[in-house]
């Protein structure tokens, strides 16, 4: 199976304090990879290394390699804006711009040079359809996005990201601020999106990891303890620490 992202000997330090310890991990193309582990174990930090979001934090030092389609994203000549277009991110709390639904989705393509109104309309419609939101918003495209429900706002943020045609979608606890029904809708969407995108999701919810992911990585204190097929991780983990965590003994 094709590897989309290859992580080799990755270490990360926050002002000298080591938050990731020698991580080695292969992320498969068009699969969902879940990152699990107790609070503070480094899941979000690791997720942010995949599109260099940690660069925005002062005092961060990264060692090792993250290869995207075989190319090291940490080389100095890499265009970080182009990288973040290819590797987009959805956050814990939905963060639509204070604009209309349409403008939220059209924003990215416009920034990247799309001006043609007809093409923009098409992109907005196809992105909202891909995010399973079109039916709910097609009659309110020109109303503020802030009037949508939390679950709709999160799917709008996913549509906004899909509009710039990424390869990889990073999701940092994308349903933690949502009610159970909205959560299921986003989970359904994740399963649909993997036919086109490589998805990496941080979740605190073990059932969610089991429901949506193909592979699961268990982190503890900045280390990758175990990584493998989700079913195997949940039914027969090799490491005692993984077993303790998934059976709820800690975290």
Nearer to ligand ATP, 154 or 203 (CB): 203
Number of other residues whose CB lies within 10 A of the CB of residue 46: 26
The reply to whether 45 sits near ligand ATP by the rule CB under 6 A is: yes
Among 3, 64, 43, smallest CA distance to 223 is for 43
- Among the residue ranges 26-34, 40-48, 62-70, 95-103, the one whose residues contact ligand ATP (CB under 6 A): 40-48
The reply to whether 91 sits near ligand ATP by the rule CB under 6 A is: no
Of 3, 13, 14, 251, the residue at the interface with ligand ATP (CB under 6 A) is 14
Nearer to ligand ATP, 32 or 162 (CB): 32
Contact 200, 35 (CB under 8 A): yes
The reply to whether 195 sits near ligand ATP by the rule CB under 6 A is: no
Of 37, 88, 94, 108, the residue at the interface with ligand ATP (CB under 6 A) is 37
Nearer to ligand ATP, 15 or 195 (CB): 15
What residues between 135 and 174 interact with ligand ATP by CB under 6 A? none
The reply to whether 40 sits near ligand ATP by the rule CB under 6 A is: yes
Report in angstroms how near the CB of residue 164 gets to ligand ATP at its nearest. Answer: 25
Contact 84, 52 (CB under 8 A): yes
Strand ranges across the sheet with 17-28:
17-28, 3-14, 60-68, 71-72
Strand-pair partners of 67: 6, 72
What residues between 16 and 35 interact with ligand ATP by CB under 6 A? 19
Nearer to ligand ATP, 40 or 132 (CB): 40
- Among the residue ranges 39-47, 71-79, 103-111, 144-152, the one whose residues contact ligand ATP (CB under 6 A): 39-47
Nearer to ligand ATP, 1 or 250 (CB): 250
Report in angstroms how near the CB of residue 59 gets to ligand ATP at its nearest. Answer: 7
The reply to whether 43 sits near ligand ATP by the rule CB under 6 A is: yes
The reply to whether 42 sits near ligand ATP by the rule CB under 6 A is: yes
Nearer to ligand ATP, 39 or 195 (CB): 39
Binding site for ligand ATP (CB under 6 A): 14, 19, 37, 39-45, 57
């Amino acid at each position: 199976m094709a590897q989309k992202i290859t992580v080799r000997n990755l270490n990360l330090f926050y002002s000298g304090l080591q938050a990731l310890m020698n991580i080695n991990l292969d992320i498969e193309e068009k699969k969902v990879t879940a990152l699990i582990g107790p609070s503070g174990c480094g899941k979000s930090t690791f997720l942010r290394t995949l599109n260099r979001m940690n660069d925005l934090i002062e005092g961060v030092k990264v060692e090792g390699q993250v290869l995207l389609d075989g190319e090291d994203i940490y080389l100095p000549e890499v265009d970080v804006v182009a990288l973040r277009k290819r590797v987009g991110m959805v956050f814990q709390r939905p963060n639509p711009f204070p604009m209309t639904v349409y403008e939220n989705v059209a924003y990215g393509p416009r920034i990247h040079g799309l001006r043609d109104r007809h093409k923009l309309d098409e992109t907005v419609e196809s992105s909202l359809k891909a995010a399973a939101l079109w039916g709910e918003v097609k009659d309110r495209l020109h109303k503020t996005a802030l009037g949508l429900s939390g679950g709709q706002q999160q799917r709008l943020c996913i549509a906004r990201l899909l509009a710039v045609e990424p390869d990889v979608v990073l999701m940092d606890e994308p349903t933690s601020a949502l009610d159970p029904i909205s959560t299921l809708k986003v989970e359904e969407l994740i399963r649909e999106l993997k036919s086109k995108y490589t998805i990496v999701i941080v979740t605190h919810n073990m059932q969610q990891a089991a429901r949506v992911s193909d592979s699961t990585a268990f982190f503890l204190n900045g280390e990758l303890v175990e990584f493998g097929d989700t079913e195997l991780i949940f039914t027969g983990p090799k490491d005692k620490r993984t077993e303790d965590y998934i059976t709820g003994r800690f975290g």
